[in-house]
Amino acid sequence: MGKIYQVTVHGLRGEKMMIDLCNTEEQMRSMTVLQLKEKIEQRLPVSAGGEVLRLIFTDKMLDGDSTLLSSYGIQHLSVIQMVVKVPGGLSV
């Protein structure tokens, strides 16, 4: 069986989610921010949609849904912080 490429997402209340991204290094190199958000959304309650989801890796906000995760330096077992934008512009 092949390797499963994963990242850990730390949520609002300290919870951690292990997200399976893909099965090959080639797929990992072509994985986008939008694809990661979609995989996270599958694990969240219905009320938490992608438009309010903000992801941070090291000190960088993962902007641009079409941007490759590899361009941020994200690799197997990287840790990503998740925050939710609330009405009024504040992040929780």
Closest CA to 86 of 46, 54, 44: 54
Residue 76: per-residue pLDDT? 95
Domains of the chain: 5-84 (3.10.20.90)
Enter the tokens of residue 91: 């992040």
Residue 14: per-residue pLDDT? 85
- Is residue 17 within 8 Å of 42, Cβ to Cβ? no
Q: What is the pTM of this model?
A: 0.84
CB under 8 Å, gap of 24 or more: what pairs does 17-24 form? 17/43, 19/43, 21/69
DSSP H helical ranges for 1-92: 25-29, 33-41
pLDDT in tens, the chain (92 residues): 578 999 999 987 888 999 999 999 999 999 999 999 999 988 887 655 556 789 999 999 998 899 999 999 999 999 999 987 777 655 55
Residue 44: per-residue pLDDT? 80
Amino acid identity for residue 49 in this structure: G
Whole-number Å distance between alpha carbons of 24 and 15:
27
